[in-house]
Chain A
Amino acid sequence: MPYYIGDVIQDEDKLVARTPERFRDGGIEVLTRTSVMEINAKESLVQLGDGSRVKYDILAVGTGTIPILPGIPGQDLEGVFTLKRLNDAIRIKARIEEKPVREAAIIGAGFISMEMCENLRRRHIKTTVINMGALPVTRWDPIFSKKAQEELDRNGVITLTGTKTQNIEKGADGRLHLTTTVGELVVDLLILAIGVKPDVQLAAAAGIPLGKTGAIQVDFSQKTSPGNIYAVGDCCEVFNRVSKRWVHIPLGDIANKQGRVAGRNIGGSPMLFPGIVAAQSFRLFDLEMAATGIDEREAAQAGFHPVSTVIWGNALAGPMPGNSSVGIKLIADQSTGKLLGAQAIGGAGAVSRINTLSCALWAGLGLDEVAYLDLAYAPPFSPSWDPIHVAAQDLLKKI
């Protein structure tokens, strides 16, 4: 959706994978603009907004997430948006195209905020990130987050760090006047991108158990505790194969897979969801950022003894034109020598390397194996010793 707002993707229809009409053609009944008010698990029925009731034999809950709001006076003013539904994206884009939007601010510095920065700058809008913390995208090591900050600076994004927004008011000029802990800021558009939480209101009210993360608890077949109720996607937990813990990671690719697994189980072709390794990526202007597995803190919580290294290498073979630097961080367990996590950043080849390392995590490879992995070497794509090999061999010294 950020790329739709940036007009990289021009047509909103392209964001709809399957329309209600196409579902109906496939024999699936669809109600849009219809709220479910209550799930009655005892009587196996749902109550709709118009008061009608629908009986079910099997229920699947895919309620997604809701944006976390900062709780600032004025956060519901016109011109203040969250970015969750396609309608939000359409409204933001319409505002940009219909009103003069010269300046925008984003509260939050996660990956959605970063993607919005790139796309607002693409539209030549002066953009300010209001970050409560010191660095953006804190999933990454501070060494890499600093590079992300430099990329924001290089592309003219203004960042306010350690800054809290206290009040939003509509001025006589029709613009949004923000009061922050470092002074006033006047913008035409404000995006709230602090984060999301699982939308579990219906499920919790129905007595469907939640996990420790606050998302709906499921088993490997995507079933909740009432066995005829399934949950899928961003509203439920997912099993992390590395930490062996149930986590909440709201990403669309995971939702697709969980939905398909639930659909198979409901449709009589049983399958268990194999879990995830928490692979993730995004682009920030000319930088790729990606991560997979767990970091030192999560590793320690899961009972591992994490050691790590950060190395910088060439994305391509040294003499190749257009080369760029790529940073790789590896985290491993000192006791077993197993790979636990990886992060990467660079002008090229960061995401592909994290995909490779995701496979290594999936398979439970040791660092000694990663250090000699057979990868597809050729000068336009990598050095003969790939930065993955270099990082693994470096970290082996600490094992």
Chain B
Amino acid sequence: MGKKLVIVGSGAGGASVAAEAKRRDPDLDVLMIEQGDYTSVAA
């Protein structure tokens, strides 16, 4: 496994980090943590 990326929050910003980092480096171990029920909500 590659480096561990932890993302706090899955709104527009956090969700974009997750998707783009994984796209650029598929070896990244990505964990996104969301306190609510939904990810990637368009406000």
- Residues of A near any B CB (own CB < 8 A): 1, 15-20, 23, 26-36, 39, 46, 48, 54-64, 85-87, 202, 230, 232-235, 252-253, 255-260, 262-264, 266-269
Identify A34's interface contact among B14, B18, B35, B42, CB under 8 A.
B35
Asked, given contacts A62-B11, A260-B16, A263-B19, whether A16 binds B6 with beta carbons under 8 Å apart, the answer is: no
A16 touches B41 (CB 8 A): yes
A34 surroundings in chain B (CB, below 8 A) = 33-35
CB-contacts of B21-43 with A (<8 A): 21-26, 28-43
Number of A-B contacts (CB under 8 A): 197
Contact B31 A259 (CB under 8 A): no
Q: Which of A57, A61, A267 has the most CB of B within 10 A?
A: A267
User: How many residues in B have their beta carbons less than 8 Å from beta carbons of A?
Assistant: 40
Q: Do residues A23 and B8 form an inter-chain contact, with CB atoms below 8 A?
A: no
Nearest chain B residue, comparing its CB with the CB of A202: B8
Q: Is B24 within 8 A of A64, CB to CB?
A: no
Q: Is A57 a contact partner of B11 (Cβ separation < 8 A)?
A: no
Q: Is the CB of A29 within 8 A of B31?
A: yes
Query: Knowing A252-B43, A264-B20, A269-B24 touch, does A259 contact B12 (C-beta < 8 A)?
Result: yes
**B28 to A, closest residue via Cβ:** A267
**Are the C-beta atoms of B32 and A259 separated by less than 8 Å?**
no
- On whether the beta carbons of A57 and B4 are closer than 8 Å, the reply is yes
Interchain CB contact under 8 A, A266 and B5: yes
Interface of B toward A, CB cutoff 8 Å: 3-26, 28-43
Residue contact B17 to A266, C-beta cutoff 8 Å: yes
Knowing A29-B31, A58-B5, A266-B25, the reply to whether A86 touches B36 (Cβ < 8 A) is yes
When the two chains form the complex, which single residue of A33, A48, A269 contacts B36, counting CB atoms closer than 8 Å?
A33
Closest A residue, CB atoms, query B23: A267
Q: Chain B nearest CB: distance from A225 CB in Å?
A: 17
Alpha-carbon gap, A202 to B4, bound state (A)? 20
Q: Which residues of A contact B36 (CB under 8 A)?
A: 32-33, 85-87
CB contacts (< 8 Å) of B19 on chain A: these are: 18, 23, 26, 28, 263
A62 with B14: CB separation less than 8 A: yes
Point out the residues of chain B lying under 8 angstroms from A48, CB to CB. 33
Residue of B nearest to A36 (CB): B8
B24 touches A268 (CB 8 A): yes
Report which of B13, B14, B21, B40 forms a contact with A266, defined as CB distance below 8 A. B21
Q: Choose one: A23, A35, A233; the contact of B39 (CB below 8 Å).
A: A23
Q: Give bound CA distance, A233 to B17, whole Å.
A: 10
Closest A-chain residue to B35, C-beta based?
Answer: A35
Question: Which of B5, B12, B25 makes the CB contact (< 8 A) with A255?
Answer: B12
A-chain residues with CB within 8 Å of residue B39 when the two chains form the complex: 16, 18-20, 23, 30, 32
Q: Give 10 new A-B contacts, CB below 8 A, not counting A57-B5, A59-B7, A252-B42.
A: A27-B30, A30-B34, A33-B34, A36-B8, A36-B35, A56-B5, A256-B13, A262-B16, A266-B21, A266-B24
- From known contacts A16-B40, A29-B31, infer whether A263 and B21 are also in contact, taking CB-CB under 8 Å: yes
Q: Chain B nearest CB: distance from A260 CB in Å?
A: 5
Docked CA distance A55–B21 (Å):
18
A61 near B33 with CB under 8 A, answer: no
Pair A60/B15 contact, Cβ less than 8 Å: no
Chain B residues positioned under 8 Å from A55 (CB to CB): 4
CB distance from B10 to the nearest CB of A (A): 7
Asked whether, in the complex, the Cβ of A234 is within 8 Å of the Cβ of B23, the reply is no
A33, B37: Cβ atoms closer than 8 Å: yes
